[in-house]
Structure 1
């Protein structure tokens, strides 16, 4: 019964990791979707393969029966599940995003304290406020979307797209923005 309970808990943890880990790595470390998935594979596959090989060698050397192996597997699974809680200790500072934790003037502000993603520079753009498609202005600030940065035109395609005439990006000269958030963390 304990083995079934641990298996269900482990399966739930695995499903959540597969569902949310790529997005977490994208947001926390500034990696692309493909890089995030690649890193997850690099992180998970070698230990699994090594575990199978070492487990087989241990079973053969110590002549462990199937029942003993099930008990060992159960307790190691429980230990593994408890060790996964350590991943909650891995954090980074929040990225500065205009309208969320930074004002349009670039001044840091408290999260969720009546912040408004709209400003005079984008109020007439009819921008959706709940879309996360970050752009980095050439003033060093990240915006929720090109629309909320007040950008009027774009050139290029895909990751090479550059948004121009951005009324909320306050710089001298041409105000522009590129896809992605400004702060990138290396793993």
Structure 2
């Protein structure tokens, strides 16, 4: 009888060894399956959030959001209750600070890529997006939406990489490349 038990034990150990080669265990493979608490960059999860492309050198910042400036140009403002905490709200033009790439609805924090960084992703476009083609010059209006550059006095903040996609009657998006703080004047 002990030979039968020994044989079963050997078969069991052999099967366990085969399965261990295929599975990862949090106790044995801690480097692979752990939540690191060391002094490395904790914002790696933001590197390509929501279909955007940024550089590893870009500084991504978090601010409390006023309103819902998701996928829009944002400007800095002070909170309405009189505290000196900076917030971001939809905006553009000369007050443009950056682009809101994500909002955490639970905490109300907006993830912002400053306008000094290069950025590529889908952004909110002004209602009527007819006539926008890839390669057209765009700028952020006062509501933080992209619009086609029409006048000579407006600076160019982005280049369209696609046609405008209409999601609803009120919402359109465009794939655009924002080229940092090197805004061009007109034409």
Q: TM-score range by the shorter chain?
A: under 0.3
Which has more strand, going by share of residues?
2
Give the alignment's TM-score, normalised by structure 2: 0.24
User: TM-score, normalized by length of structure 1?
Assistant: 0.24
Q: Which has the larger radius of gyration?
A: 2
